[in-house]
């Protein structure tokens, strides 16, 4: 057990940074010998941030967001709750397949035969330990080129058949457009410009 009494309060040595700190700066952990994690909150958050900056860690944050949307929509009764029928291993396999076809480019575009017209995607996680809400610096803007797991048909759930990997800005642009809306848009366009198309 790493806990010691110092100056009337309980303290503990962090196994990561080696500093002796008050127990209040350690997360509680029922599996820990003394009921606390072995590393302090700052070191734990830094380790989580490092993981989220890896490809797998970043994709895991996107996966968790898919479930968060489901919970928020269910609780607030905002729109139709979108269910997620994919586990993380399936999402990772789908991402590996995407990379074998598109590399680090968005699926949104004319197709793999014209890959140069597909925009490049990034996986930039901005986290500063305990600074700001959920480890993100207050006032940080979303990186528009970052990968987003999107549904082809926004009225359907998250399934392997219905997801694609595109950029955040592309997702924002199309998020409120349904498949039926697209068909109407195409029909109206073809009616209006049929003479020019022939």
3-state SS, residue 160 = coil
pLDDT on residue 132? 44
Helices and strands, counts by H and E, the chain: 5, 7
In order along the chain (198 residues), what is the average pLDDT of each group of 10 residues? 66 91 91 89 91 94 81 50 89 97 93 93 74 49 88 86 92 78 81 67
pTM exceeds 0.85 for this model: no
> What is the domain count for the chain?
2
Looking at the structure, tell me whether residues 73 and 160 fall in a common domain.
Answer: yes
pLDDT on residue 81? 67
pLDDT on residue 80? 57
CATH for 20: 3.30.60
Looking at the structure, tell me whether residues 142 and 97 fall in a common domain.
Answer: yes
> Exposure pattern of 127-163 as b/e (b: 16+ CB <10 Å)?
bebeeeeebeeeeeeeeebbbbbbbeebebbbeeebb
Residue 82 lies in a domain: yes
**Residues spanned by the domain of 101:** 53-184
Looking at the structure, tell me whether residues 106 and 171 fall in a common domain.
Answer: yes
Measure the CA–CA gap between 158 and 10, rounded to whole angstroms.
47
């Amino acid at each position: 057990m790493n806990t010691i009494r110092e100056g009337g309060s309980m303290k503990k040595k962090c196994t990561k940074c080696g500093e002796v700190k008050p127990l209040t700066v350690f997360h509680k952990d029922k599996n820990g010998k003394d009921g606390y994690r072995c590393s302090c909150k700052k070191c734990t958050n830094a380790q989580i941030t490092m993981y989220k900056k890896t490809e797998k860690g970043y994709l895991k944050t996107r996966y968790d967001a898919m479930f968060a949307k489901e919970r928020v929509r269910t609780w607030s009764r905002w729109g139709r709750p979108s269910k997620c029928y994919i586990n993380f291993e399936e999402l990772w396999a789908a991402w590996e397949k995407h990379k074998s076809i598109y590399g680090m480019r968005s699926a949104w575009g004319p197709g793999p035969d014209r890959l140069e017209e597909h925009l490049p995607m990034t996986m930039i996680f901005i986290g500063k330990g305990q600074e700001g809400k959920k480890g993100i610096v207050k006032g940080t803007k979303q990186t528009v080129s970052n990968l987003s797991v999107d549904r082809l048909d926004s009225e359907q759930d998250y399934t392997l058949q219905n997801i694609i990997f595109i950029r955040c800005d592309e997702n924002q642009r199309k998020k409120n457009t349904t498949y039926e809306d697209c068909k109407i848009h195409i029909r109206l366009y073809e009616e209006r410009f049929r003479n020019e198309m022939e």
